[in-house]
Amino acid sequence: MRNSSYIISSITALCLAGGSLMAQPAEYEIDPVHSAVEFSVRHLGLSNVKGKFKKFSGTIWYNESDIKQSSVTVTIDAASIDTAEPKRDEHLRSQDFFEVAKYPDIRFRSTSIAPLGDKYMVKGYLTMHGTTKEVEIEAVLVGKTKDPWGNERLGVEGKTTLNRQDFGINYNKVLDNGALIISNDVKVELNIQAIRKTAAIAPEKPVKEAKPAETEKAQAKDERKDQ
């Protein structure tokens, strides 16, 4: 009887330990060779001109047992923009658009990931052209697999639409028919493949950033207290 109790206790302990291990997120490093960060904008109101960023890096913390505990961070080299037209790319790097000399990086860090039917809604802060805005990305978990070298890989696709004027990128001209030379809406598509590194404790989720006006009010309140 004692042996039976011991066996049951041992199995229970192992199950609990196994559940704890499963709850630990795994760290995946984005593989830029097999990933793409692409965008498209409407030109003259007629066609979509597509482009991409050739240099980027990032980390996905994926918790398979609780997707809400997952997170992602990405950094993009703004100067790596490529629309297959060198003169246009130089213009996009200039002060009229990305001002890459002043703002070299585009950064994203998630604040929440939630199920959305068979997809996921990823919310987070996007910093571009010196401005930070909260954005939403509709994402699909494509799956996991092992490559021929034994590395575990994770596939994710995502899409969102940004208004470039929200980030202070305002350059434009209006045609005689009222159409814009370049649309304000920018469609972004993400095709991401990431390689698992190690299982580790995920970073703490960032506290929601205060708006500039809220920050100024808090500073003024602190100054009155000091007087």
Asked whether residue 85 is assigned to any structural domain, the reply reads: yes
Asked whether residue 123 is assigned to any structural domain, the reply reads: yes
Burial of 99 (0-12, 13-18, 19+ CB in 10 A): middle
pLDDT in tens, 156-181: 999 999 999 999 999 888 777 777 78
Q: Which long-range contacts (CB under 8 A, 24 or more apart) does 16-21 make?
A: 19/65, 21/199
Q: What is the pLDDT of residue 20?
A: 44
Asked whether the beta carbons of 25 and 199 are under 8 A apart, the reply is yes
Q: Which domain holds residue 149?
A: 25-206
Cα end-to-end span (Å), the chain: 74
According to DSSP, residue 217 is labeled H
Return d(Cα 197, Cα 26) in angstroms, integer: 7
- What is the number of structural domains in the chain? 1
Asked whether residue 221 is assigned to any structural domain, the reply reads: no
Asked whether residue 170 is assigned to any structural domain, the reply reads: yes
Return d(Cα 158, Cα 113) in angstroms, integer: 12
Asked whether residue 12 is assigned to any structural domain, the reply reads: no
Asked whether residue 107 is assigned to any structural domain, the reply reads: yes
Out of 23-27, 46-50, 190-194, which region has the weakest mean confidence (pLDDT)? 23-27
Return d(Cα 122, Cα 112) in angstroms, integer: 6
pLDDT in tens, 14-36: 444 444 445 567 999 999 999 99
Asked whether residue 96 is assigned to any structural domain, the reply reads: yes
Asked whether residue 11 is assigned to any structural domain, the reply reads: no
CATH number at residue 189: 2.40.128.110
pTM of the model: 0.77
